[in-house]
């Protein structure tokens, strides 16, 4: 189903019947990706005085409790409340859900003997002077392992502070990346990329978001897309989310 959408006085045509889901589903098993040194998520039926809320065990319904951490267990969207002393909910930060997005692919560079990083220079080169509302970063190698990898103690690649500052300065409002965090796994709490992108604590960009733990399939080409960034309405610094891309057919 093709439809036309107007953004900033330009009209774009997309096909709503061909979504490109770049989220990772949450499953209650060790096949679920995780980070930050905690166990797998749990999805369990409610039990009460011998009653088990599971149809296969005699209940009329399936009625499950779900235990998970949005930062550790898959695709999630977060706001500056993730690093602020004052409480601020991502449910207040994200009030629009449709954006023009640019997908870029980056091969993290070596820094020292142990680190892999994404630099300002790499992002500038990939964007080719474009200034999108949203930026989707796919890192390579881009294997299926990302969908179920356990990242704790792996020292994943991360965004350098100058790259985050650059994205802030060119007006990127929503940053999406296929890693557990835009920052180094063990950085003594500095969180330089988070702080730079959100301009925290000087003048926080309250409407800016970071989405981590996405997965962009290899057959999704670099270029301009229409992004639908949806999330659960959690009153929290982060929420599980479902970013979906649509190919731009014409503009």
From residue 217, how far is each of 8, 65, 129, 175 by CA, in Å?
A: 29, 31, 24, 17
Please answer whether residues 212 and 76 qualify as being in contact, where contact means their C-beta atoms are separated by less than 8 angstroms: yes
Name the percent of the chain lying above pLDDT 90. 92
Hey, which residues does 106 pair with through a beta bridge? 139
Identify the pLDDT of residue 10. Answer: 78
| Residue found under tokens 């977060």 | 78
Other Cβ atoms within 10 Å of 124 Cβ, number:
13
Residue scoring higher pLDDT (57 or 251): 57
Q: What range defines the domain where residue 173 resides?
A: 2-25+75-250
Q: Are strands 64-67 and 42-45 parallel, antiparallel or unpaired?
A: antiparallel
Structure tokens at 231: 């999330």
- pLDDT for 211 beyond 70: yes
In a domain, 32, yes or no: no
How far is 157 from 182, CA to CA, in rounded Å?
A: 8
Identify the pLDDT of residue 8. Answer: 67
How far is 241 from 54, CA to CA, in rounded Å?
A: 27
Indicate which CATH number applies to the domain containing 233. Answer: 3.50.30.50
In a domain, 221, yes or no: yes
Identify the pLDDT of residue 85. Answer: 96
How far is 133 from 251, CA to CA, in rounded Å?
A: 16
| Residue found under tokens 């060119």 | 170
Identify the pLDDT of residue 3. Answer: 75
**Could you give the 3-state DSSP secondary structure of residue 23?**
coil
How far is 173 from 101, CA to CA, in rounded Å?
A: 10
In a domain, 109, yes or no: yes
Average pLDDT value for the chain: 95
How far is 90 from 234, CA to CA, in rounded Å?
A: 8
Q: What is the pTM of this model?
A: 0.95
For residue 251, give the DSSP letter.
-
In a domain, 90, yes or no: yes
- pLDDT for 150 beyond 70: yes
Sequential DSSP letters for 123-151: HHHHHTT---SEEEEEESS--GGGGT-B-
If phi > 0 it is left, if psi is from -120 to 50 it is alpha, else beta; for residue 8 that is: left
In a domain, 42, yes or no: no
- pLDDT for 250 beyond 90: no
Please answer whether residues 39 and 69 qualify as being in contact, where contact means their C-beta atoms are separated by less than 8 angstroms: no
In a domain, 83, yes or no: yes
- pLDDT for 249 beyond 90: no
Identify the pLDDT of residue 128. Answer: 95
- pLDDT for 207 beyond 90: yes
CB-facing half-sphere around the CA of 54: CA atoms within 13 A: 11
pLDDT in tens, 11-68: 889 899 999 999 999 999 999 999 999 999 999 999 999 999 999 999 999 999 999 9
The crossing angle, in degrees rounded to 10, of helices 120-127 and 161-169 is: 40
What total number of domains does the chain contain? 1
- pLDDT for 251 beyond 90: no
Radius of gyration of the chain (CA): 19
In a domain, 81, yes or no: yes
Mean pLDDT of the 175-203 span = 98
In a domain, 68, yes or no: no
């Amino acid at each position: 189903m093709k439809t036309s959408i107007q953004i900033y006085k330009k009209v774009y045509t997309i096909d709503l019947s061909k979504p490109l889901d770049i989220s990772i589903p949450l499953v209650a098993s060790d096949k679920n990706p995780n980070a930050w040194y905690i166990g797998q998520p749990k999805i369990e039926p409610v039990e009460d005085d011998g009653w088990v809320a599971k149809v296969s065990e005699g209940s009329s319904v399936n009625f499950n409790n779900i235990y998970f951490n949005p930062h550790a267990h898959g695709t999630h969207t977060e706001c500056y409340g993730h690093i602020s002393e004052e409480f601020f909910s991502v449910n207040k930060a994200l009030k629009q859900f449709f954006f023009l997005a640019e997908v870029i692919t980056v091969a993290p560079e070596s820094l020292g003997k142990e680190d892999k990083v994404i630099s300002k220079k790499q992002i500038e080169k990939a964007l080719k002077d474009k200034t999108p509302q949203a930026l989707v970063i796919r890192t390579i190698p881009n294997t299926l392992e990302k969908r179920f990898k356990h990242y704790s103690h792996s020292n994943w690649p991360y965004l350098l502070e100058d790259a985050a500052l650059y994205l802030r300065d060119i007006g990127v409002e929503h940053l999406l990346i296929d890693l557990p965090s835009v920052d180094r796994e063990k950085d003594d709490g500095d969180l330089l990329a988070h702080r730079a992108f959100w301009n925290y604590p000087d003048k926080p960009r309250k409407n800016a978001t970071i989405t981590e733990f996405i997965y962009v399939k290899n057959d999704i080409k670099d270029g301009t897309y229409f992004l639908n960034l949806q999330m659960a309405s959690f009153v929290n610094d982060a929420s599980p989310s479902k970013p979906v891309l649509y190919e731009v057919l014409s503009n």
